[in-house]
C-alpha cells in the first residue's frame, strides 16, 4: 500500500477519525483498517483527490466504524458518495465507478473472541479489542469478497434528476423517491407511513 497517495499511516488516520467521531473505540480501529483494505482492493488510490469522483461506498451499519470510513475516504451522505443500507452488519462495500469493481469488506465475528488472546492482561474487553484490532492482520479481522453493484442514475452524485409534488401532503420529492399508488403520485410517508406522525401542536 506504499504507493497510495493518501496518508496511510495508521495512527495518523486514527487520530483524524477520532477528531471527527469524538472518542477512540474498537469501531474506529475497524473502520480505518476496513477502509484501507477496501480502497486498496477496489483500486482506489486517492479517494479525496483524483479519485473522489470515482468512488461510492455502501455502509451497512450506523455505528462508530461508519465515521471512520467517512474520515478515511471523504465519502459522505451529503455528497451522495456514501449510501446507508440499514442491514445492521459491520460491513462496507467500496465501488470503483471507473472500473466497476466492487469490494465488500465484512468484519469477522471471530475477531471479537480472539482479541482477548492478544491482551489477556487487559480485563476490559472493549479495551482489549481496541488494542488487538490495531495489530491483528486483515485476514483475521475481515472477510473480503468481490461483488456486483448496480447503481441507478438517480442515486449518483450531482444535481437531482427530477422533482415531483406529492398529491397528498404537497411536499416535494427528489430523485425518483415518489410512489405511484392508484394513479396518484405520493411521497413514501403518505404511501405507506413514515417514521414521524404530525403532532397536534404546531411548531413555533
Tell me, yes or no, whether 83 and 17 share the same domain: yes
Nearest to 1 by CA among 59, 44, 57, 53: 44
- Give the tens place of pLDDT for each residue, 69-100: 999 999 999 999 999 999 999 999 999 999 99
Percent of the chain with pLDDT over 70: 94
Task: Report DSSP state, residue 183.
Answer: T
Sign of the dihedral defined by the CA atoms of residues 57, 138, 9, 125, in that order:
positive
Output the DSSP codes for 159-171: S-S-EEE-TTT--
Q: What is the mean pLDDT of the chain?
A: 89
Do 110 and 33 share a domain, yes or no?
yes
* CATH number where 133 lies: 3.30.1330.130
How many distinct structural domains can be found in the chain? 2
Higher pLDDT, 117 or 102: 102
Closest CA to 133 of 116, 158, 153: 116
Q: Does a structural domain hold residue 77?
A: yes
Q: Could you tell me the three cell numbers for 200?
A: 397536534
> For residue 180, what are the domain limits?
159-204
6: confidence class by pLDDT, cuts 50, 70, 90: very low
| Residue 170 and residue 120 share a domain | no
The verdict on 137 and 72 lying in the same domain is yes
Query: What does the pLDDT look like over 114-124, one tens digit per residue?
Result: 888 888 888 88
Inside any domain, residue 45: yes
Residues 71, 164, single domain; the answer is no
Do 85 and 35 share a structural domain? yes
Query: Per-residue pLDDT tens for 135-163?
Result: 999 999 999 999 999 999 999 998 999 99
Amino acid at each position: 500500500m506504499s504507493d497510495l497517495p493518501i496518508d496511510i499511516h495508521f495512527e495518523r488516520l486514527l487520530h483524524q477519525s477520532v477528531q471527527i467521531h469524538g472518542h477512540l473505540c474498537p469501531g474506529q480501529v475497524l473502520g480505518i483498517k476496513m477502509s484501507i483494505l477496501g480502497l486498496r482492493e477496489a483500486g482506489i488510490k486517492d479517494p479525496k483527490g483524483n479519485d473522489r469522483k470515482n468512488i461510492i461506498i455502501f455502509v451497512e451499519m450506523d455505528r462508530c466504524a461508519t465515521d471512520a470510513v467517512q474520515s478515511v475516504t471523504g465519502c459522505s451522505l451529503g455528497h451522495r458518495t456514501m449510501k446507508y443500507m440499514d442491514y445492521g452488519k459491520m460491513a462496507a462495500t467500496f465501488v470503483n465507478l471507473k472500473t466497476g469493481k466492487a469490494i465488500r469488506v465484512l468484519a469477522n465475528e471471530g475477531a471479537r473472541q480472539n482479541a482477548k488472546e492478544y491482551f489477556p492482561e487487559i480485563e476490559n474487553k472493549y479495551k482489549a479489542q481496541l488494542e488487538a484490532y490495531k495489530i491483528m492482520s486483515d485476514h483475521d479481522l475481515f472477510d473480503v469478497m468481490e461483488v456486483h453493484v448496480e447503481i441507478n442514475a438517480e442515486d449518483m452524485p450531482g444535481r437531482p434528476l427530477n422533482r415531483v409534488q406529492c398529491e397528498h401532503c404537497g411536499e416535494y420529492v427528489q430523485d425518483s423517491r415518489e410512489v405511484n399508488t392508484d394513479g396518484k403520485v405520493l411521497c413514501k410517508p403518505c404511501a405507506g407511513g413514515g417514521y414521524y406522525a404530525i403532532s397536534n401542536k404546531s411548531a413555533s
